[in-house]
A = this chain, B = another copy of it.
Amino acid sequence: MTELKTGGAQGYLRIATEEAFSTPELIDAWRDELDQPDVDPGFQSLIGYYLNHPADRPRWIADRLQDLGEKRIADMDERGIDRQVLALTSPATNVLRDADRASVIAEIANDRLAEACRNYPDRFTGMAACAPQDAKRAAKEIERAVTKLGMRAVIINSNILGEYLDNPKFWEVLEAAEALDVPIYIHPNTAPANMIAPMLEAGLDGAIFGFGVETGMHGLRLITTGILDRFPKLQIILGHMGEALPFWMYRLDFMHQAGVRTGRYENMKPLKKEKVSRYLRENFYMTNSGVAWEKAIKFTQDVIGIDRVLYAMDYPYQCPAEEVTTLDAMDMPIGDKKKFFQSNAERVFKI
């Protein structure tokens, strides 16, 4: 295998846009949450695994998540990653029932991430964490993080205690992101307790399947409930090849229009842009986190647009160097490949 290097000799820099970190304060809060008698089953499955399972994979990941310095930079160098766009790892504070504690942890995480970005300005870009449980405070924190700390996006680790961003209680968060002109990256969370049972019993609740279900649904809800008509300039980023929404596009359009036409649902009204697919093409960016697969990347470029598909590695959860080599070797015009690896990210995150 060719040695991977940073610096762009292949014709583009590699900017990885869904890269994760954690903080000691968050891990403490997760441990407290795991100790609760009524702990959420998806959270227990996911975070119980990453904090407590003795296998090499979760232990290595837990170690790397907490590093925003030399180990991470060495891993990036080894894999030829020029820059990471970093976000507080899922489910972050979204599972914490104490809104104050959740807010404080998000704020400290932003301070820690801002420090790392100052230490490595050529290697790190940050997304702002927040705790939508207290939406007013979250909106203020987004403003602070963007205007004072230099964050270039907002990370929302999908459902917040089982609720979604279309809920009016969270609209201040959406309003802040739109007003500050920063995209919201909706990263998967495990499905909430009222959705997860049949996936959990088969071991399909995590990244293998349940993540995509939960987060594809979240993205779709923002369209069908009219949220993107209310906040028309809002841009949403979905990982994992758009959580398969591009592949569903035809059916989404057909069945959405059938539902609207017959008035089947009170909360599914006609949309300004009419078709679900127009929102996917005009209000969404999608990254290939977890999907180092040329066929799916090209399909998505084809159906949502070459300017809307971005590279992501999903470090430290999924970061074999072979995946970088595979993507470098994609049969794709160099201009398109540069958009994918570099220039789309530079535009979206104002790098």
Contact = CB atoms under 8 A, between A and B. Distances in A.
Interface of A: 49, 53, 55-58, 159, 162, 164, 166, 191-192, 194-199, 201-204, 206-209, 212-213, 216-217, 220-221, 224-225, 240-241, 244, 246-252, 254-256, 258-259, 261-268, 290-293, 295-296, 299, 302-303, 318
- 8 tightest CB-CB pairs across the interface, nearest first? A203-B265, A55-B262, A208-B255, A250-B293, A194-B197, A247-B247, A203-B268, A202-B221
Contacts of A244: 244, 247-248
Given A57-B258, A195-B195, A224 B251 contact: no
Contact of A217 (B199, B207, B296): B199
Given A53-B262, A194-B194, A203 B224 contact: yes
A302 B295 contact: yes
Given A212-B248, A247-B241, A251-B240, A263 B55 contact: yes
Pick the most buried of A159, A251, A266: most chain B CB atoms within 10 A of its CB: A251
A316 to B, nearest CB: 13
Given A221-B204, A240-B251, A292-B250, A58 B209 contact: no
A225 B202 contact: yes
Nearest to A46: B264
B58 A262 contact: yes
Given A247-B296, A250-B291, 7 more contacts: A58-B262, A194-B195, A195-B199, A202-B221, A203-B268, A204-B221, A250-B296
A80 B266 CA distance: 36
A19 to B, nearest CB: 17
Q: Which of A197, A198, A216 gathers the greatest number of chain B CB atoms within 10 Å?
A: A198
25 contacts: A49-B264, A55-B263, A58-B262, A166-B202, A191-B198, A192-B198, A194-B194, A194-B197, A195-B199, A203-B224, A203-B264, A203-B266, A204-B224, A206-B264, A208-B224, A208-B256, A208-B259, A209-B220, A212-B248, A213-B213, A244-B248, A249-B293, A250-B296, A255-B290, A295-B299
